[in-house]
Structure 1
Amino acid sequence: MTTQDYNKQEMESRTFEYPMIIREFHLDTFGHVNNATYLEIYEEARWQFITENGYGLKEIKTTGLGPVILDIRIRFIKELKLREAITIFSKTTAYHSKVGTIQQWIIDSKGNKCSDVEMSIGLFDTTARKLVKPTPEWLKAIC
């Protein structure tokens, strides 16, 4: 995808999968995953797929351009418990000018959706302290 293509209303992109096991440190006093921990799990999955696609922390430090979340909507559908195997799915669904949309969802080993999230993201210039249009490298990493 080129920078000229990013302006499309809806986009075809890959769906990234990130399997993991719920560990003891994910749990709260109720014995299930706390709401804030869901955000950490989703973030871990996002860092994994952008790093695997060539836009990890090294690239961010080199270019001074990195991802930023602008807003987030999260739903908790089914609780996650200790030692449960889950898969986090991530997909970029749109990119308009400087703002993109990523959807993520968690599926347990029985195929149940446990949570989903939709967020607006952008590419942030850490020197100028503002959003910039997505670069081809950034689009390659997330689409």
Structure 2
Amino acid sequence: MFRVTIAVRADDIDANGHVRGPAYLAYADHARWSCVRAAGIDLAELAERRIGPVNLETTVRFHRELVPGGEVEVGCEFHWGTGKTCRVTQELRAPDGTLVADVSSVSGLLDLDRRRLVADPGAYWLELAARPELLGLAPKTT
């Protein structure tokens, strides 16, 4: 599972003194993009192909408070089926390892000209990725 550590910023804190809900979504988004980049995907190349990643559904389950003054570790794991989408599961953990939230998203790749999801998004990622295993895809064989 890909992991990234993110600093909790002062503006992530709500009136109750803990991290506000939208910040959890921002942490999850940051981790997904970091994972895609770490896999070697060039977002400019996707744009040249007129393909763009889209998030179709996101569910956040909160387990514990995340408080100011620290960091959060966010994991990212892609799960592929046979359709036009994949599921991305993410765990957000406090510095002591405590699970503070989990995020589940359904994502796809949008054909920017036709405004429709591409039929096999994994094939696009696999073609472009230097490290497809970070995206839950079988590495290329030569």
TM range (shorter): 0.7 to 0.9
Q: Which one of 103, 106, 111 corresponds to residue 125 of structure 1?
A: 111
Structure 1 runs of 4+ aligned residues shifted over 4 Å read none
CA distance in 2, matches of 1:24, 1:59: 35
Aligned residue type for 1:80: L
Which sections of structure 1, spanning at least 5 residues, go unmatched?
Answer: 1-14
Output aligned runs, 1:60-79, within 5 Å: 60-79=46-65
Are 2:140 and 1:142 aligned?
A: no
Match of 1:109 in 2: 95
State the secondary structure of the residue aligned to 2:30: helix
Q: What's the TM-score, normalizing by structure 1?
A: 0.82
Two-structure CA RMSD over aligned residues (Å): 1.6
- Separation in 2, partners of 1:52, 1:41: 16
Please show how residues 53-64 of structure 1 align to structure 2 within 5 Å: 53-64=39-50
C-alpha separation between the residues in 1 aligned to 2:100 and 2:45? 33
Task: Tell me the SS of whatever aligns to 2:81.
Answer: strand
Q: Distance in 1 between matches of 2:11 and 2:46?
A: 28
The 2-side partners of 1:95 and 1:59 are apart by 24
Measured after TM superposition, the shift of residue 137 of structure 1 is: 4.3
Count of residue correspondences: 129
Task: Please report how far the alpha carbon of residue 25 of structure 1 lies from its aligned counterpart in structure 2 after TM superposition.
Answer: 1.7
Q: Does 1:46 align with 2:39?
A: no
Residue segments in structure 2 that go unaligned for 5+ positions in a row:
127-131, 137-142
State whether residues 55 and 137 of structure 1, in contact with CA within 8 Å, keep that contact through their aligned partners in structure 2: no
Q: Which has the higher contact order (CA 8 A, sep 6+)?
A: 1
